[in-house]
Amino acid sequence: MKKVLLSAALLVCMCSTNVFAQNASEKSVMTLMEKTGVTKMINTMFNQMKVAYSGNEKAKKAFDEVVKELDVKEYIKRVVPVYQKYYTQEDIDALNKFYDTPVGQKVIRVQPQLLTDVMQVGREWTQETIQKIQAKKTK
């Protein structure tokens, strides 16, 4: 009977290792976010969205008003628990270590332009798709 209970307890422990994983600290998450340039990425997204609204003056004005009220630091503070939801302290430590390597630094360095380029591809793809749909309707 003791062997059965011991085996069951061991099985429960093996199946629930995440339950015992250490939660990532706010400080380590903030370090990761600083290293990865989250603030820069947010600003890049805002700038790209501003470009997207540039054809509509009313939408651009409304968007500019919203951006003026947004506090990036408050946003980052609200994002920390999201990181903590998906990453353990061990994960965050490994990511922080990775971003200190040359390839990690490259990822950080190219990410803003990569995001800009990817968004441009998305805009072009969307425009082409709209044109195809419109062309089908006129046939």
Mean pLDDT within 90-109? 96
The percent of residues above 70 in pLDDT, for the chain, comes to 85
pLDDT score at 86? 97
**DSSP bridge pairs for 88:** 23
pTM over 0.85: no
Distances, alpha carbon 6 to alpha carbons 1, 12, 104, 118, in Å = 9, 10, 44, 53
What would the two tokens of residue 50 be?
A: 């501003």
Spatial contact of 116 and 44, defined as CB atoms under 8 Å apart: yes
56/39: higher pLDDT: 56
pLDDT score at 119? 94
Q: What are the extents of the domains in the chain?
A: 21-138
